[in-house]
Structure 1
């Protein structure tokens, strides 16, 4: 059974295709711009923002997908809005909710928390109504990443609210977005892009194990271990185990 409010197989395939768009156009991007752009094609909105927030420092890092492309900034360039945001942060469940409750899985629309009239009577709702922006919003929380609060935010300035189907799509991609951010952070820190099996082998190499010992511990053949090491050397652009370990040692525990 399919219909307007039902998530279809085509929707799932489209989401998977979007999650594979992991090309970075700026060296310092906190997330993958093409993933945001693709997700915005599937869930139309005026503004889709991946946000990292240092709550104690009142600092926000943003990557926004908009009609004209992608914006990159730290915090908000609207001083009045920024001041009001932090002033009301702990009083507005839609912003501080995950931080207060520890619920980093529930995808929430503003309309799930407020009636239109009740929200219009809050300081933030009154400010936004006067500005004529962000009539509808969805918050997609993710588990904290160290000291950083992570979330995806979708805004619609006018038109209908986000549908149940669109919220379901966001529920499906939420854990994958968190993992993509962790991957992007590793890239920014210079961690090599190796497979889980290659990291397993390198951890054993670091203990001084021979190829035969590694093969026995992982249930592999000696030839398979040698092939893995060859591929590791190619990816790392090194010629030996010693060089490979020097390249990856800072990341072995985290891999």
Structure 2
């Protein structure tokens, strides 16, 4: 039987999204989102992380445990950290990288029993034998070579349920939009329409107006009009300047 959500669950989903959009932006996920997730899904900790895998840099590590908040940004390169040695062989950690599937909400128990989990090198070397017994992972789109995740941890008790997984699955694309909106507000990035963003992203790749028109099934004159609006809203005088202002904050991938 397919899992369903209660009216309370659905109302809380909307509240998490709305609170996140109203919260003061920071360089990670708005804290209201983590507060809302902790209220919506029973867990000991909820976090948001972003790693630069090729360069072995922990860019963002944001966690909420009870009422305790922690946020570490732009940590120095730690090439000898055990995470980089063991993360690829730890199946729930590397699932999205290995498969390209960003949509699936992954549980530790999808891959390991509790005994198997505690016997993995990752559990012993990265977490020092004291990691969460249960973890749920939602992967968000990120720039190439980066991983961006929402993490929910339980140190003991029952595993996350299919109801919990469904909640995070439904929230996932909206949390990504909340994150992007927070970064735009934080960095003063002008708000463009979806079509204008598509045009600017293609222009940032060096596409001509004719190329963009073919890609988006619109006329060349429509592309020119979109570019005029983009220049007006960004104050930029060239495609390169507009792209430098807007595109780095998007990191748009396939939400699915």
TM-score scaled by structure 2?
A: 0.69
How far the C-alpha of 1:23 sits from its partner, in A, is 3.7
Other structure's SS at 2:153 match = strand
**Aligned twin of 2:156:** 158
**Aligned twin of 2:180:** 182
| Aligned equivalents of 1:76, 1:16: Cα separation in 2 | 33
**Aligned twin of 2:13:** 15
Other structure's SS at 1:151 match = strand
8 Å Cα contact 1:128/1:134 also seen in 2: no
Structure 2: where are the runs of 5+ without partners?
A: 201-221, 223-230, 251-256
8 Å Cα contact 2:190/2:246 also seen in 1: no
Other structure's SS at 1:145 match = coil
Structure 1: where are the runs of 5+ without partners?
A: 204-216, 218-241
Structure 1 62/9 Cα, relative in aligned 2: closer, same or farther at 3 Å?
A: same
Structure 1 10/67 Cα, relative in aligned 2: closer, same or farther at 3 Å?
A: same
**Aligned twin of 2:33:** 35
8 Å Cα contact 1:51/1:152 also seen in 2: yes
8 Å Cα contact 1:143/1:150 also seen in 2: yes
Give 1:250's match in structure 2, choosing from 222, 235, 242: 242
How far the C-alpha of 1:13 sits from its partner, in A, is 1.6
How far the C-alpha of 1:119 sits from its partner, in A, is 1.8
Q: Map 1:81-230 onto structure 2 (within 5 A).
A: 83-127=81-125, 131-193=129-191
How far the C-alpha of 1:51 sits from its partner, in A, is 1.1
| Aligned equivalents of 1:150, 1:41: Cα separation in 2 | 22
How far the C-alpha of 1:97 sits from its partner, in A, is 1.4
What count of residue pairs does the alignment treat as equivalent? Answer: 212
Structure 1 42/136 Cα, relative in aligned 2: closer, same or farther at 3 Å?
A: same
Other structure's SS at 1:149 match = strand
How far the C-alpha of 1:243 sits from its partner, in A, is 7.7
Other structure's SS at 2:81 match = helix
| Aligned equivalents of 1:76, 1:6: Cα separation in 2 | 41
**Aligned twin of 1:68:** 67
Structure 1 76/112 Cα, relative in aligned 2: closer, same or farther at 3 Å?
A: farther
8 Å Cα contact 1:134/1:155 also seen in 2: yes
8 Å Cα contact 1:20/1:35 also seen in 2: no
| Aligned equivalents of 1:245, 1:70: Cα separation in 2 | 35
8 Å Cα contact 1:23/1:33 also seen in 2: no
| Aligned equivalents of 1:174, 1:245: Cα separation in 2 | 29
8 Å Cα contact 1:31/1:181 also seen in 2: yes
Which structure's relative contact order is higher, taking Cα pairs within 8 Å and 6+ residues apart?
2
Structure 1 253/49 Cα, relative in aligned 2: closer, same or farther at 3 Å?
A: closer
